[in-house]
Amino acid sequence: MPSSTSSSDSEPVYSRRVPEISWPRVAVVAAFLAAAGVGIWEAAWRIGEHYEASYRNSDGQFAEVRRRVDRREPNATVFIGSSRTQFDIDLDVWQELTGVHGIQLALEGSNPLPILTDLADDEDFAGLLVVGITPPLVLMPGIGSRADALERYYNETPSEWASNKLSYPLERTFAFYNPDAALFRLLERQPWWPEREGLPFEAPEVRKIENMRRDRQSDLWNRVEDDPELNQVVTSTWKAILETLPPPPPEEEARAAFETLLANVARDVGKIRERGGEVVFIRPPSSDWFRDFENRATPRERVWEPIVGAAGAVGVHFEDYPELREAHTPEWSHISSRDKAQWTRALVGILKARMAESGVHRPEIGS
Amino acid sequence: MLFNSLTFVAFFVIVLALHNAPLPWKVKKTNLLLASYIFYAAWNPPFVLLLWLSTIVDWWVAKGIYATEEKSRRRALVGVSIAVNLGLLGYFKYGGFLLENWQALMTAIGVTWTAPGWNIVLPVGISFYTFQTMAYSLDVYLRRARPADSFLDFALFVTFFPQLVAGPIVRPTQLIPQFQEPVRANRNQLLWGLGLMTLGLFEKMVIADGALAPAADAVFGADGAVPFADAWLGTLAFAGQIFSDFAGYSTVAIGAALCLGFSLPDNFRFPYAALGFSDFWRRWHISLSTWLRDYLYIPLGGNRKGWHRTQANLMITMLLGGLWHGAAWTFVVWGGLHGLYLGIERFIRERWGDAKVASTAGFRLFLALLTYFLVNLTWVFFRSKDFPQALSMTRAMLGFGAPDGELVLSTFLVTTVIAVTVGMLIVHWFMRNRRLEEVVARSPWWLTGLVWAGMMFLIVITQGTGNAFIYFQF
């Protein structure tokens, strides 16, 4: 704080100086060089890394798709779950077989049960809800890393809404416009950084593994399947993430939390049914080390069965159906984009049959 | 609406086109006013009502003050302006804080009372526009200025979108006269304005959000104590982040206004090259420090009432300046530390200011580094979520931290923080006595073009996180 006693009464009207240089020449050079740089950058990602333009899976995109529920689309079918539900379901095939274009609300690395609660509390929803269960994630407290997506749906500002709309044309044009290609993320994952001694191990960020559509359907990026090096990067990331999960809470605490979880599931499913809706559960496939880990840490009879039992709902576990088991999961966790159509076809058939067996008749799926 | 959003890009293109269209000046000003309301409403439309309230109250208050010579009436009217503006600020910004402290006080004297929940959303930029409108009524009251002739000009002064939500806090005498005559940027002003906007966005998106925020967030978000190196690196990262974030906003604001033909004053002048704290506050958030000087420090008596009163006035001003930043005691301590530094500096200057050593280059460098070191200690209180964290960080930075503090920064983050901090200090030192305009004017044109292109390219490939500017929360 200057101690001067001068006041503002004599301050002249401020007028900014502009440097006296040839501004048009400077601007043309700057615009040309910047455009050339961006063009080269785009080419490097497309040619060098085989990137394709894809939607960014942003919170705004989630909010936009979530609003379809509010519009009370007839026969709304909503998918919630983690990335497996997002990658494995083919919305076009689903529509071809049921006549309904599903609302894809699954969020990667997330627990779908808080979203189930949210939909149970939403009076606008009375359709069919397909809940994908990924055993380790379903036991997480809260939604997880994508909690902001639901928050965005509730509190999106007009400015955020508009920015999201304006971002779409860029997302479908530029391959580099992807969080995986952002400058500082790119720098951080370079191998030249030495390990800092004493720093606790942290799992790396998940690399780009998908191409997403405007309706939030994600397809596993073919390169994850075709490029052994990238495939290895992705599988080692899954291993690192699972191996660095925090230890489970003490037995007593875990049991109490799971009891609460089951009670919440029963309550939420009950609410949706009261409004005339229905809920079904699916367990999409995993394989190799990932599946072994899941079976060890979260065995089917201790997680999947009780949840489906508490809901009193139809549950389709991939292990029970050869046609669901056969799908190829190149990086252990998501179905190959080449197999997803067939897998979805099989899933719809099984769901129809199971729902019919259970006496559940839903126009959304034609059971 | 955030400057670093696509919505702003589209909005600004439309505003610029309308401002350059062949329309009467009054229509152009009305366009700017409506655009400013849209800019503000893009966050939360109902809060535009607060802007209107502040505008209408100060418009009539200033008119009323100007129309009377009756001292008590003038005083009552300026009291209305202060009450309404500080009332808005108090309700929305400090309500929860006051209740929380009242509850603590009651508990301390044995009264069991639970404060009701206080879930009030803080309107963006309320601290800035309430101070700006209050300055208008105060200037008229203090006979420093006449009320504006046109309500449209006054409303635009309160609401002018480039500086509405995070400053610079502009004085009525600086901006209102600019609205009186038709203005349009010439070609050079437009291009320099765009250049400044690029520089501001580069500071925000590349330096603050891209390079430094991850390290600052990791250290200040750590669960436990961190060791000496990480505590320092996290604090240095925050020092760079908050400068780049806030100076970046001001630079975009100045550039956007210039593109429209208006001049806003500087808000930062390379503060990390400051030699002492008086110098620091002449370089950091200049529009707030001069506001506090003119409307608080000087009315309190400034330095005219003896040594003790001067020290007390400095401390009061800085404590309130700290509280202006946020409704928490950590901000008050931040302000208090600055008040203390200023007081000590004044004391030293009075006794040894003329010593020969004070003018040597080595001493000046030492003083700059000492100032930077002490400023960093204050940032710990500014950034920490509570006192335990602030104290733990300060202990670690002074070498008294827990021996088992856990490392949190990777080699990448360590390298980034060191590189950016060293680069920033060099730039600030080089620019200490220079103006950006002079440096650009003396540089080869192709170099300016290259640097401009480089900043645009880096902004694009950094992609941005869409993070709000830190000062929005104030």
The 10s digit of each residue's pLDDT in B328-338 is 899 999 999 99
Please report residues of B whose CB lies closer than 8 A to that of A156. none
- Which residue from A11, A183, A193 is facing B458, i.e. has the nearest CB? A183
pLDDT (0 to 100) of residue B361: 86
Whether B173 and B197 map to the same domain: the answer is no
- Flag whether residue B447 sits within 8 Å of chain A, measured between CB atoms: no
pLDDT (0 to 100) of residue A5: 27
Residue B311 has pLDDT above 80, yes or no: yes
Closest to B74 measured CA to CA, from B135, B142, B130:
B142
pLDDT (0 to 100) of residue B446: 95
Residue B13 belongs to some domain of the structure: no
Whether B349 and B214 map to the same domain: the answer is yes
Please report residues of B whose CB lies closer than 8 A to that of A34. 452-453, 456-457, 460
**Interface size between A and B, measured as CB pairs under 8 A:** 208
Structural domain containing residue B100: 21-110+118-183
Identify the domain boundary among B146, B167, B183: B183
Beta carbons of B318 and A195 less than 8 Å apart: no
Predicted ipTM of the assembly = 0.89
pLDDT (0 to 100) of residue A14: 67
Beta carbons of A157 and B43 less than 8 Å apart: yes
The whole-angstrom separation of Cα B252 and Cα B471 is 14
Residue B416 belongs to some domain of the structure: yes
Whether B270 and B414 map to the same domain: the answer is yes
Average pLDDT, chain B: 92
- Quickly count: other Cβ atoms within 10 Å of residue B336's Cβ: 18
Domain coordinates of chain A in residue numbers?
74-145+214-357
Strand partners for B317: none
Question: pLDDT of B116-153, one tens digit each?
Answer: 776 777 788 888 899 999 999 999 999 888 899 999 99
pLDDT (0 to 100) of residue A315: 94
Residue B74 belongs to some domain of the structure: yes
Q: What is the mean pLDDT of residues B420-426?
A: 97
Per-residue model confidence as pLDDT tens for chain A (367 residues): 333 323 344 455 668 899 999 999 999 999 999 999 999 999 999 999 999 999 999 999 999 999 999 877 767 899 999 999 999 999 999 999 998 899 999 999 999 999 999 999 999 899 999 999 998 899 888 998 899 999 999 999 999 999 999 999 999 999 999 999 999 999 999 999 998 988 888 888 888 999 999 999 999 999 999 999 999 999 999 999 988 888 888 889 889 999 999 999 999 999 999 999 999 999 999 999 999 999 998 999 999 999 999 999 999 999 999 999 989 999 999 999 999 999 999 999 999 999 988 888 888 887 7
- Flag whether residue B171 sits within 8 Å of chain A, measured between CB atoms: yes
pLDDT (0 to 100) of residue B286: 94
The fold of the A74-145+214-357 domain, in CATH, is Rossmann fold (3.40.50)
Whether B209 and B166 map to the same domain: the answer is no
pLDDT (0 to 100) of residue A88: 95
Nearest chain B Cα distance for residue A50, angstroms: 17
Which whole-number Å values give the CA distances from A24 to A179, A316, B15, B292, B452, in the listed order? 34, 66, 22, 41, 13
Identify the domain boundary among B183, B200, B228: B183
Beta carbons of A30 and B411 less than 8 Å apart: no
Residue B7 belongs to some domain of the structure: no
pLDDT (0 to 100) of residue A141: 87
User: Which letter, b or e, does each residue of A236-259 get, where b requires 16 or more Cβ atoms within 10 Å of its Cβ?
Assistant: ebbeeeeeeeeeeeeeeeeeeebe
Strands A210-212 and A218-220: antiparallel
pLDDT (0 to 100) of residue B471: 64
Residue B115 has pLDDT above 80, yes or no: no
End-to-end alpha carbon distance in chain B: 16
Whether B272 and B351 map to the same domain: the answer is yes
Contact indicator for B330, B262 with CB cutoff of 8 Å: no
Whether B239 and B367 map to the same domain: the answer is yes
Which whole-number Å values give the CA distances from B8 to A159, B190, B261, in the listed order? 8, 17, 18
Whether B462 and B348 map to the same domain: the answer is yes
Whether B305 and B242 map to the same domain: the answer is yes
Residue B15 belongs to some domain of the structure: no
Residue B162 has pLDDT above 80, yes or no: yes
Number of domains in chain B: 2
Whether B226 and B146 map to the same domain: the answer is no
Question: pLDDT of B425-450, one tens digit each?
Answer: 999 999 999 999 999 999 999 999 99
Whether B171 and B253 map to the same domain: the answer is no
Contact indicator for A159, B42 with CB cutoff of 8 Å: yes
Whether B26 and B135 map to the same domain: the answer is yes
pLDDT (0 to 100) of residue B449: 97
Question: pLDDT of B210-221, one tens digit each?
Answer: 999 999 999 999
Identify the domain boundary among B183, B201, B228: B183
Contact indicator for A284, A84 with CB cutoff of 8 Å: yes
Whether B172 and B200 map to the same domain: the answer is no
Beta carbons of A23 and B171 less than 8 Å apart: no
Residue B276 has pLDDT above 90, yes or no: yes
